[in-house]
Amino acid sequence: MKTRFLGKDKLEVSAIELGCMGFTHSYPPYPDRKDAINTIRKAVGLGVTFFDTAEVYSYGQNEDLVGEALQPVRDKVVIATKFGYDLSETPDLTTSARPVSLSSRPETIRKAVEGSLRRLRTDHIDLYYQHRVDPNVPIETVAETVGELIKEGKVLHWGLSEAAPATVRRAHAVCPLIAVQSEYSLWYRKPEAELLPTLEELGIGFVPFSPLGKAMLTGRFNKDTKFDKTDFRSAIPRFQGENLKHNMELVEYVEALAKRKETTPARIALGWLLAQKPWIVPIPGTKRIERIEENIGGADIQFTTEELADIRRHLDSIEIIGGRYPEDQEKMTGL
């Protein structure tokens, strides 16, 4: 597996990260715990060294799973997790699925880091993201709090998720960021306008989630696909009705491109992201080892300058319709 470096501190990670959310959260059915642990450990055997989770994913269960799976190889991997919600509002963390509120108050962050350390079975978190910007807490206060955790050795590096460029600058000025995580893919390119130039200027790595468009870019769906109500995509406008049918134009283009290059649509999508900047590390999420094997192959896809220019021309000509989140969740991004 090829590696890349994030930030000025040059945190070395595998070129493809494994997003672990789907093992317990948002995309049922879920594998049993033993199978999930085996899959994560097989990913390590394939060369994946970078793993992403969050305290809010299944209210701690996801971190606990990742912690158990990676405990035997803890010194060989980089674990990223996230804070930013008040889990104390959820009385039964093992079964409750009700929403929780944003909270990045210093006391909430300190409580969160202790819980994450315990569940991850580790004495430090390699990369600690603020999951969503809390409009009620100045980002400078958040940066100062995480800076204290870094001095204490509980956190090694930190980052933001779905933050506006101006917020990135303010946070970075107080406690340098090593990475920012936001959505970016062939079917969502908004970060190109302002976020990517800001990160390049400041020397901050970029870790795009949903690089496969929540599986849209894998070619698994068609215009008539219906999602179960327990599937997160059932609430996303881009995956609904006429929007889905319209958006298949991009999928068909990616499939045709994959056929020409004798590879898979998923590898095209990941290879394209990696070709944008050397400090980009995508996080495809999956529960299946064969998908991990496929995704890893994305690091080997090469594009000529002419191919990249042609892809950009096609992307500019294809309109994607429908929001990427339900309206209430979209309001929590870009702050």
Just list the catalytic residues: 57
Of 211, 203, 231, which is closest to residue 22 (Cα–Cα)?
231
- Helix H or strand E encompassing 78: strand 78-83
**What CA–CA distance (Å, rounded) separates 185 from 215?**
11
Rounded CA-CA distance 335/170 in Å is 12
- DSSP letters for 225-248: ----TTSGGGG-GGGSHHHHHHHH
107's tokens? 């006391």
Distance CA 127, CA 275 (A): 24
- The pair of three-digit structure tokens given for residue 115, joined into one six-digit string: 């819980």
The helix/strand/coil state of 11 is strand
From 289, 316, 252, select the one nearest 41 (Cα to Cα): 289
Enumerate the H helices of the chain as residue ranges.
33-45, 61-70, 106-120, 139-151, 165-174, 195-202, 241-260, 265-276, 289-296, 305-317, 327-330
**Signed CA dihedral, 316, 318, 322, 325: sign only:** negative
End-to-end CA distance of the chain: 35
Secondary structure (DSSP) of 272-326: HHHHH-TTB--B-B-S-HHHHHHHHGGGG----HHHHHHHHHHHHH----S-SS-
CA separation for the pair 185, 270 (Å, rounded): 8
Distance CA 78, CA 70 (A): 10
